[in-house]
C-alpha cells in the first residue's frame, strides 16, 4: 500500500484549493479504507472553494474536502467483520457520521443526530485517492449502477429525501430551484407518478436541464409568470406538493402562495437570515412545512438504488467530466451556473 496520495486540500483561508500530497489514512477500529474512483463537486464544495461566510464559520484548514464519491474497498480496519465486505467491492458512503447514542440515533433517526460530523466538512473528505469512514456508513453498490451515477449519490439522496417526503402519485408538484438537486427531484417525481411537475428558476441553462429530466413546464421568473404556467397547465386550485430547493426567500413565498389549501411543502433550500414569510398563507391554507436535512439512514439509500435499478435515468444531469488534476476547470464550471453535475476522475494518475 502506498504511503502518500494526491488530494485536494483547503490549505488555508481564502479562495481556492491546493492539489498536494498527504498521507494515506489508516483505517481505525471499525473503519474501512476506500480507494476513490470518481467524485462529484457539490454546492458545499463550491462554498468552500470560494471561501464564503459560511465556509469561514465552519471550515478549519487544512482539510481534504469533498463528500460525493464512488470507490472500492481497499482495506478493513480492526473489528470490521470480513464477511460483510470484500477487498475490491464497489461502495459509496453516507456523508454524515453520527454518534449512534443520542435519542434520535437510538430511535432510528440518525439524520437528525445532534452530533453529526460531515465528511469533507468536519473531517477529512473524499477529494483524494483514498478515504476512511466508519463501516456503518459504507454503502455496497449493485453492479448495474454506473460509477458516474454513484459518484453523486449523496446529492441524489438529498433530492430523494425531499421528493419522497410526501406522496406525489397523481399530484401537481412545484419545484423552486433548478440546481442539480432540483432537477434530479424532477426526474424522481416523474418516475414516481406525479401528474405535473413545474419548475421555477432564473437560469435558462438549468431550466433546460429540468426539461431534459422530464419537467412538464419550466418558468424563467425573469420574463415569465408562474400564474401563467399554472393556467396553461390547468392547475386551478394550486399545487399539491412543493419542493423548495433554491434557498431564496422570494421563491419560498411564491411557493406558499401557489399551494392549494392543505398542500405540503418539503424545504431543502436554506433561506438567508431575516427571511420573512406570510404566515397567513401557512395558517389559513393549512399548509404542512417539512424541513429536510441529509438522507434518512438508510431508508433513503435503499430508495435511491431501487429507483435507478427500476429505470430512473439521472444521466442528463451530468454535464462535465474532468481528471482530478483539472479540478480548477470543474469549479469554474460550477461557479458559472452553466452546469449540472461535474465529475472528477481519480482512476488514473
Per-residue pLDDT of the chain (349 residues; tens, 9 = 90+): 899 999 999 999 999 999 999 999 999 999 999 999 999 999 999 999 999 999 999 999 999 999 999 999 999 999 998 889 999 999 999 999 999 999 999 999 999 999 999 999 999 999 999 999 999 999 999 999 999 999 999 999 999 999 999 999 999 999 999 999 999 999 999 999 999 999 999 999 999 999 999 999 999 999 999 999 999 999 999 999 999 999 999 999 999 999 999 999 999 999 989 999 999 999 999 999 999 999 999 999 999 999 999 999 999 999 999 999 999 999 999 999 999 999 999 998 7
Report pTM: 0.97
Assigned fold of 161-291: Rossmann fold (3.40.50)
Q: Which CATH architecture has domain 4-151+313-345?
A: Alpha-Beta Complex (3.90)
Residue (of 37, 95, 86) closest to 66 by Cα position: 95
Annotated active-site positions, please? Answer: 44, 47
List where CATH 3.40.50.720 sits in the chain.
161-291
List where CATH 3.90.180.10 sits in the chain.
4-151+313-345
CA pair distance 153, 148, nearest whole angstrom: 9
The CA-CA-CA angle for residues 6, 7, 11, to 5°, reads 130
Strands across the sheet with 259-267, in order? 217-220, 196-201, 172-176, 239-244, 259-267, 288-291
Amino acid at each position: 500500500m502506498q504511503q502518500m496520495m494526491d488530494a485536494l486540500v483547503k490549505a488555508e483561508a481564502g479562495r481556492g484549493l491546493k492539489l498536494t500530497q498527504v498521507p494515506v489514512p489508516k483505517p481505525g477500529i471499525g473503519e474501512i479504507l476506500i480507494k476513490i474512483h470518481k467524485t462529484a463537486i457539490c454546492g458545499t464544495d463550491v462554498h468552500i472553494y470560494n471561501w464564503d461566510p459560511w465556509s469561514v464559520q465552519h471550515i478549519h484548514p487544512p482539510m481534504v474536502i469533498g463528500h460525493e464519491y464512488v470507490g472500492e474497498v481497499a482495506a478493513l480496519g480492526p473489528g470490521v467483520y470480513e464477511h460483510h465486505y470484500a477487498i475490491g467491492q464497489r461502495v459509496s458512503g453516507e456523508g454524515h457520521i453520527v454518534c449512534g447514542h443520542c435519542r434520535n440515533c437510538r430511535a432510528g433517526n440518525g439524520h437528525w443526530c445532534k452530533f453529526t460530523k460531515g465528511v469533507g466538512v468536519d473531517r477529512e473528505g473524499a477529494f483524494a485517492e483514498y478515504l476512511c469512514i466508519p463501516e456503518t456508513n459504507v454503502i455496497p453498490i449493485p453492479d448495474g449502477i454506473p460509477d458516474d451515477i454513484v459518484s453523486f449519490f449523496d446529492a441524489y439522496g438529498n433530492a430523494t429525501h425531499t421528493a419522497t417526503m410526501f406522496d406525489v402519485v397523481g399530484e401537481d408538484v412545484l419545484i423552486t430551484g433548478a440546481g442539480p438537486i432540483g432537477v434530479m427531484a424532477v426526474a424522481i417525481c416523474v418516475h414516481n407518478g406525479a401528474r405535473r411537475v413545474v419548475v421555477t428558476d432564473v437560469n435558462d441553462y438549468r431550466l433546460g436541464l429540468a426539461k431534459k429530466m422530464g419537467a412538464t413546464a419550466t418558468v424563467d421568473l425573469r420574463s415569465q409568470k408562474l400564474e401563467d404556467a399554472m393556467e396553461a397547465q390547468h392547475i386551478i386550485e394550486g399545487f399539491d406538493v412543493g419542493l423548495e430547493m433554491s434557498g431564496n426567500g422570494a421563491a419560498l413565498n411564491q411557493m406558499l402562495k401557489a399551494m392549494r389549501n392543505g398542500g405540503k411543502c418539503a424545504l431543502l433550500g436554506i433561506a438567508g437570515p431575516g427571511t420573512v414569510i406570510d404566515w397567513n398563507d401557512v395558517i389559513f391554507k393549512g399548509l404542512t412545512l417539512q424541513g429536510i436535512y441529509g438522507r434518512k439512514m438508510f431508508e433513503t439509500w435503499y430508495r435511491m438504488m431501487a429507483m435507478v435499478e427500476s429505470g430512473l435515468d439521472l444521466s442528463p444531469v451530468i454535464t462535465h467530466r474532468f481528471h482530478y488534476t483539472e479540478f480548477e476547470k470543474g469549479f469554474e464550471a460550477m461557479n458559472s451556473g452553466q452546469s449540472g453535475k461535474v465529475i472528477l476522475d481519480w482512476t488514473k494518475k
